[in-house]
A = this chain, B = another copy of it.
Amino acid sequence: MARRIRTELTERLGVDHPIVQGGMMWVSRPALVAAVAEAGAFGFLTALTFGNPEGLAEAIDETRRLTDKPFGVNLTFLPTLVPVDYGPFIDVIVEKGIPAVETAGRNPEPYIDRIKAGGAIVIHKCTSIRHARKAVAIGCDMISIDGFECAGHPGEDDVTSLILIPRAVDELDVPVIASGGFADGRGLAAALAMGAVGVNMGSRFLVTEEAPVHENVKRRLVEASETDTLLVMRTLRNTERVLANEWARKIVAMEREGAGLEELAPLLSGKNGLRAITEGEVDAGLIAAGQAIGLIHDIPRVGELVERVVGEAVEIIGSRLPELLTS
């Protein structure tokens, strides 16, 4: 068998490879999460993608029909126009015996005891050392630290992964997962060199055969370079990094002209993003995409991708780097 990389992440999550597929709204569905699990990595279903707790329960059951390997659930506490009651989602997570929950967005404090009492470990994803410290203080078991280059919400501090990862490793007494900017084995090796226990990849898993995303979107992301992302909603202090498509450019232009939440809201509706992703109208909604799209050049199967990333990292760690050392 090929050499593998063993870290606290692989040990705690019971997987072969130190790679996590973080929650992606509309994308982290059973087909992708099961493929990630079968590939020996750890994926998260996004609870809110399924609309209600019953939908999440069905998605968990469906994923289990596709794999007997472990996977988790992402719970994102973002400001939404309609408040969400997360309690019933957590009930489902606990009842189904999900081993790990990825929390993101607002402070998970109101829910953490309930999640942990149910037996899951909590991995909080955040974009600053201040929030990471707070998350550890309230009992989170790991931190997924997300740099400025990430897809989705990078926060408002604009600190990059290269700085946040070693800072988090120094400041926190829990394992740190490196997130934001990772798409290949070089990134995995670099993250491990900085002291992380593994990487979280989003955009990279989105551009795979199994991702439930329209072919047009995958192809557009393959063609895109690292300069083809934009930050929208900066003026609302709810910044999101997305593919620089026509929809995003329109929002940025409106923001420049001083548009407020009321004018922007119709363009920000998740329905547009969902349509873009599922119907392939690539310019008709926001599509979260990180700068790592500059490193994405193909649409592999998930298993092939994970094997390639790990193989490259093993080659770097086992051969290329040691060969640089003088005796």
Q: Which residues of A contact B (CB under 8 A)?
A: 3-7, 128-129, 147-149, 157-164, 166-167, 180-182, 184, 186-187, 189-195, 225-227, 291-292, 294-295, 314, 316-318, 321-322, 324-327
Residues of B within 8 A of A324 (CB): 5-7, 192, 317
Q: Which residue of B lies closest to A157 (CB)?
A: B227
Residues of B within 8 A of A7 (CB): 324
Residues of B within 8 A of A182 (CB): 162
- Can you list 7 pairs linking A and B with CB atoms under 8 Å apart? A6-B326, A162-B162, A162-B190, A163-B181, A163-B294, A166-B184, A190-B190
Give A178 Cβ to nearest chain B Cβ, in Å. Answer: 9
In the complex, the answer to whether A190 meets B194 with C-beta atoms within 8 Å is yes
In the complex, the answer to whether A149 meets B160 with C-beta atoms within 8 Å is yes
In the complex, the answer to whether B318 meets A163 with C-beta atoms within 8 Å is no
A162 in complex: contacting residue of B149, B322, B325, B327, CB < 8 Å: B149
Distance A226 CA – B190 CA, assembled complex (angstroms): 20
A327 in complex: contacting residue of B3, B157, B158, B160, CB < 8 Å: B3
Residues of B within 8 A of A4 (CB): 325-326
In the complex, the answer to whether B166 meets A325 with C-beta atoms within 8 Å is no
Q: Which residue of B lies closest to A184 (CB)?
A: B166
Residues of B within 8 A of A180 (CB): 162
Distance A186 CA – B191 CA, assembled complex (angstroms): 9
Q: Given A162-B147, A292-B163, A295-B163, verify A318-B322 contact (CB < 8 Å).
A: yes
Distance A235 CA – B267 CA, assembled complex (angstroms): 27
Residues of B within 8 A of A167 (CB): 226, 294-295
Distance A190 CA – B128 CA, assembled complex (angstroms): 21
Residues of B within 8 A of A316 (CB): 193
Q: Given A147-B162, A163-B294, A181-B162, verify A193-B321 contact (CB < 8 Å).
A: yes
Q: Which residue of B lies closest to A1 (CB)?
A: B326
In the complex, the answer to whether A295 meets B166 with C-beta atoms within 8 Å is yes
Residues of B within 8 A of A148 (CB): 148, 158, 160
In the complex, the answer to whether A164 meets B226 with C-beta atoms within 8 Å is yes
In the complex, the answer to whether A186 meets B166 with C-beta atoms within 8 Å is yes
A321 in complex: contacting residue of B157, B187, B189, CB < 8 Å: B189
Give 7 closest A-B pairs by Cβ, nearest first: A190-B190, A189-B193, A162-B181, A160-B160, A190-B193, A149-B160, A317-B321
Distance A128 CA – B160 CA, assembled complex (angstroms): 16
In the complex, the answer to whether B321 meets A325 with C-beta atoms within 8 Å is no
Known: A148-B160, A162-B162; 17 extra A-B contacts, CB below 8 A, are A4-B326, A7-B324, A129-B226, A148-B148, A148-B158, A149-B160, A157-B227, A162-B180, A162-B181, A162-B187, A163-B291, A163-B292, A189-B190, A189-B193, A314-B325, A317-B324, A318-B322
